[in-house]
Structure 1
Amino acid sequence: MASPADEPTPPEVVPEQVAGELSDLTPEELRNTIIYAQELLQFHDETASPVEPGPDEEILRATERDGYTEVVKRAACASGCEDCPHGPYLYHVKEESRPEGGTKVRWTFVGALSEAE
């Protein structure tokens, strides 16, 4: 079981009350909440974002652009690295159709950003 110190930090745009209530939910309640949130997005004619952070990554910003999502994130590397986390880095993320059907999320690295960006 993870310790409270390992609990993820919610993005600044998530209201404190919502973040607090989410952190108190069980894994099953969280899964059901995700399903409900996705249904609400569809109700509002939105699609779920293809942007999901990987292990040891922190998404700082995700902005929808025409044809792609602009993502700024930080990432941790090997344990014991004194410079972690690294970044921020800019990526363009888009869903591409696959010849055999379905889609694939493609992350294109654009470059490193300064902390001010």
Structure 2
Amino acid sequence: MPQVKDFAHRLARAVAQSDPDHFTAALPKAQRKGRIFVDYLRNQCGATAVMPYSARARLGAPVAAPISWKEMETITTGRFHVGDAAELVKRAASKSLSGWGRADQSLPDL
């Protein structure tokens, strides 16, 4: 639906504008460096996203894993793969990732 894509795009831009040091809605990878890409294109028919702790179908079987804000300062590429299962289980229970999927916030009035 065009309306959903339009809303998702406007929301991504609003998030990026509210904290440009941490978020971006820019498509080119060169413009995303060091920031979280708010991917509004995953809200359309046929688009897919990877759930946390899922292995990706790529060379080396990298694993999508949540990271802390502190880690955002140093991580430049994916660093976990399926062989890191024990470390990932330990990280999931760590204090630094406690409540990583929760947020006490409201959406902006667009």
Q: Same fold (TM over 0.5)?
A: no
For the pair shown, the structure with the greater C-alpha radius of gyration is: 1
| Larger RCO, structure (CA 8 Å, separation 6 or more) | 2
More strand by share: 1
Greater share of residues in helix = 2
